[in-house]
Structure 1
Amino acid sequence: MIYLKTDEEIELLRASNILVAKTLGEIAKAVKPGVTTKKLDKIAEEFIRDNGGIPGFLGYQGFPNTLCTSVNEQVVHGIPNDIPLKEGDVVSVDCGVLLNEFYGDSAYTFGVGEISKEVAMLLQSTKESLYKGIENAIAGKRLGDIGNAIQKYNEANGYTVVREMVGHGVGRHLHESPEVPNYGRKGSGTLLKPGMVLAIEPMINLGKRNIVQENDGWTIRTIDKKVSAHFEHTVAVRKNEADILSSFKFVEEVLTLQSEN
């Protein structure tokens, strides 16, 4: 069952997603060599609660933390821990918030210190492909158009698309119908209608597309242990162009300041 949101509900969803965006901005300030993902998790939980939200992932189906922090070959659902991040690592930070009974959901992959050119290019392709997908989140197109745009862009750049993990609808529940794959055929799948709210989240690998689940029951990693990248926005489907409810603005303001210093 796909729930179409009213304009009022979309504004509530926007507020939840902006809190996620601001939380990721706080995380951006803290990501550096020597910091632990558990520390990032603490920063996020405190910031979300201080701003009237509830961590959306904490306790969700038993997940133990506020953030999913997935380092290097980890694709998604990494559990924050006490291992310090190292120069050259990448960490995908996925954050969810419940505010005013609606969820926000967004993810950003950060480089830790200086990262290799090869890995930087993977991050760039993944992030750019997110926007290629979003360009197709308009009424009258189909879900396959979103996935096809993401898949074609990354495969043309020599990367592989994780198939088992997908985006999803967002609303009063963190995960709603429909599933939003990052691959597909143009013109296939569910018809997109105004009021659909989707989390679009390409997960793109440097090596093979195959993944495995770690023994913790959560963490998904690449089978060949090569790096993976993950970027996510929550968007509302509209008639002429998608309405991006989340934002990377706060992250990118911090990263720009850091690069200038």
Structure 2
Amino acid sequence: MSRQIFRSKKTKVLSLAERTKKFGNYELIVPDLSFRPIQLCVPKHIARPNYSDIPAIGSVIHIHDQNEIKSIRQSCQLAKHILDFACKTAEEGMSTLELDKIVFEEITKNGAYPSPLDYHGFPNAICTSVNNVICHGIPDNRKLKTGDLLNIDVTVFYSGYHGDTSKTVAIGNVDDKGLHLMETTLNALKAGIDKVGPNKPLNLIGRVIEEIGSKNGYSIDKQFCGHGIGKLFHQAPLIMHYDNPDDTLLEPGMIFTIEPIFNQGSDGFVKWPDAWTAVTVDGARSAQFEHTVLVTDDGVEVLTG
């Protein structure tokens, strides 16, 4: 989710030659202003989240009881299944819109609602972010090509709760720079999860993630963050993926996402006219991985693992 406080730096998009030399071999994704999303119709029997009056996130962190945790586990495990299904389905020559339709059918077949759909007007079941798209990419008619990095972000509303997870996958033959970006971002997510546990300060998560990114020469996105999740799609706490002063002590029963984004170049971003798709200002590639986690009495449980 977006914190809406970070402003993009003014950085020019590099030429093809400059971009290839600095960041690797891939296609720059640009907006298709003629594209219009299709209407997805969720079967009437499927329970829907209430997005008619989305509350402010606030600062109160909900502590989930065992009954709530049981339901959230179910939602998160379904989200894991859907993401695995989507990653196996995505292939060269398929459009992200085609992928969205297939995943939508799988979500609704399992009796769940695709959480992004109609959230603040988002038109699709999943987010598909390719190459220089940082996050919140709207599925469209562009065909996936060999060398693409594709992030698939899945959230489902099931048994009254949301489950959220994402992964960046390689389409066809991806160059070494792209593979290194993916591997490093995944390692940072794992390191952040390792810092979760009772009585540990929240900012340990961002600190270790930023250390890994900086050590490997990547910028850490500061606009988009992890978040609490449960009956609401987004709630407290906010999870920053960089060093920050929030030393709130974690407690058993807290549930939130960790979803670091690393960019090859600048940490600045711009949004497309669709008001959703965020892209790097310099055309560099971006990668993201995400899990929903539960603070337990003695550590952490990866609910979407």
Q: Give TM-score, length-normalised by structure 1.
A: 0.92
- C-alpha change, 1:61 and 1:188, in structure 2 (3 Å) is closer
> Which residue number corresponds to residue 34 of structure 1?
93
**2:285 equivalent among 200, 209, 227:** 227
> Which residue number corresponds to residue 204 of structure 1?
262
Equivalents in 2 of 1:18, 1:145: separation in Å?
26
**1:218 equivalent among 257, 276, 279:** 276
The residue correspondences of 1:81-100 to structure 2 (distance < 5 A) are 81-100=140-159
**1:105 equivalent among 164, 184, 187:** 164
Q: Is the 8 A contact 2:153 2:166 kept in 1?
A: yes
CA shift, 1:235, in A, is 0.1
* Aligned: 1:190 with 2:235: no
> Which residue number corresponds to residue 253 of structure 1?
none
1:203 maps to amino acid: I
> Which residue number corresponds to residue 24 of structure 2?
none
Instruction: Please give the secondary structure, in 2, of the residue aligned with 1:69.
Output: strand
Number of paired residues?
246
Instruction: Please give the secondary structure, in 1, of the residue aligned with 2:197.
Output: coil
Q: Is the 8 A contact 1:145 1:188 kept in 2?
A: no
* Aligned: 1:139 with 2:198: yes
Instruction: Please give the secondary structure, in 2, of the residue aligned with 1:107.
Output: strand
CA shift, 1:239, in A, is 3.2
> Which residue number corresponds to residue 47 of structure 1?
106
Equivalents in 2 of 1:17, 1:40: separation in Å?
20
1:246 maps to amino acid: T
> Which residue number corresponds to residue 155 of structure 1?
214
CA shift, 1:11, in A, is 1.7
Give deviations 1:230-253, integer Å, cap 9, x for gaps: 100000012332100002xxxxxx
Give deviations 1:166-195, integer Å, cap 9, x for gaps: 00000001101111010014x743221111
2:289 maps to amino acid: F
Equivalents in 2 of 1:216, 1:238: separation in Å?
40
**1:178 equivalent among 227, 237, 241:** 237
2:293 maps to amino acid: V
Q: Is the 8 A contact 1:26 1:43 kept in 2?
A: no
**2:301 equivalent among 236, 243, 252:** 243
Instruction: Please give the secondary structure, in 1, of the residue aligned with 2:64.
Output: coil
Gaps of 5+ in 1: 248-261
* Aligned: 1:65 with 2:129: no
Q: Structure 1 vs Structure 2: percent identity of aligned residues?
A: 37
Equivalents in 1 of 2:297, 2:280: separation in Å?
37
Larger Rg: 2
More helix by share: 1
CA shift, 1:221, in A, is 0.8
**1:5 equivalent among 41, 55, 64:** 64
Instruction: Please give the secondary structure, in 2, of the residue aligned with 1:204.
Output: strand
Equivalents in 1 of 2:182, 2:112: separation in Å?
29
> Which residue number corresponds to residue 30 of structure 2?
none
After TM superposition, the runs of 4+ consecutive aligned structure 1 residues lying more than 3 A away are: none
Instruction: Please give the secondary structure, in 2, of the residue aligned with 1:24.
Output: helix
Equivalents in 1 of 2:136, 2:202: separation in Å?
24
Give deviations 1:22-46, integer Å, cap 9, x for gaps: 1111112222111110111111111
